[in-house]
Structure 1
Amino acid sequence: MPTLCESPRDTTTAILDVYQPAGEPWLHVMQRGQTLRIIDLEGNQAVDTIFYNASDTSERYSMTDTMQAQGGIYLSTGTVLMSNRGRPLLTIVADTCGRHDTLGGACAAESNTVRYAAQKKFMHSCRDNYLLALAHADIGMGKRDIVPNINFFMNVPVTAEGGLTFEDGVSAPGKYVELRADTDVLVLVSNCPQLNNPCNAYNPTPVRFVIWDAQD
């Protein structure tokens, strides 16, 4: 069930406040105890995100461990994001959207072709964004490090038959989710550039990232 919870944090006390353009990747290291707020500025924007242990990136977000630990498929306030080693990476501490997807995966050249049309193959995709961000960072990570991700603000209902559908978002302008880092984490984001499904109303838009130190 959705667990709506507003945050008491004041953006004027933040140590980082980033306006992220539509369709662009973002890579950042969070220290243990810091809190990240992801803000859906215009509504219905999917923010595809993967988290890694910053000191050992072979430990990374695990969709299956997270769902098993919480006994449900959607993410919201109170969800602990688990690693592939069964350890907590982050905890969702506030959420004004209500639920977030971790089943739909990230768009890629291959999925653009299968879902839409052969000529869509070379459109921008989240997978390409991930790879570009990692290549530019030059930290020894690449294709093998891309794992099933979280789609913040994305609406992917599960049908009675067990299938997935991509529907209009349940978010709105100004909705946000906050996550507290339970260890030092590397945050890899693709502010989804997808133009072919309603995950972002066929219109990629900017988002905002705000970070507070542990004591705030």
Structure 2
Amino acid sequence: MTKKNSMEEKLQDDIGADAPYDPAPEVAGLRKRFGAQVLSVEAGIDCQSVTLARECIVEACHYLKSEHGFEQLMDLCGVDRSTYPGWPAGAPRFQVVYHLLSLSRNHRIRLKVGLNERELVDSVTEVWPTANWFEREAFDLFGIIFNHHPDLRRLLTDYGFEGHPLRKDFPVTGRVEMFFDESQWRCVYRPNEVKLRQLIQKSWPGVDRG
């Protein structure tokens, strides 16, 4: 019996004979520890993607860091799937995607959790402090609220900004514009008025413009 086969058999014993075998030990460990809270596993081009129930995300991150050496959170981002082709109508609108890296093993894994508007997902800043600004960015641009975040403020948009720019229902031109009011001697907002302007005469490619 080869070493590889013995390892595969051990993993199969750990996760149960009837469970689908996955060669990544961290995925097998997640299946064993969190059971039905592991919603799906996909083999990506760069690494495996595991979709989890959002209620277990902090515990799952602690587990992957302590037991499988994923010491770095490389990135955390929000995704609006509302108009994604083929996205099921009843599926959560948003996803929070976590990209983890194990330096000791030179190995990566991607975690995903789904949630709808006004639903909360727990912050993972207690696992990786670097999640602080990542989560603030996702809150600012998508409106995703991270429960227990130490300082959940906007990061990229202006003070007093209303709305979340990367939601697919947010107008490209925005809803308000800022200007300096001489009479009040301060910056104020007013409803955005978009006027289509033609600055140069339109011409087809190849037309002599000389």
TM surpasses 0.5: no
Q: Which has the higher helix share?
A: 2
Using the size of structure 2 for normalisation, the TM-score is: 0.25
Higher relative contact order (CA 8 A, sep 6+): 1
Using the size of structure 1 for normalisation, the TM-score is: 0.25
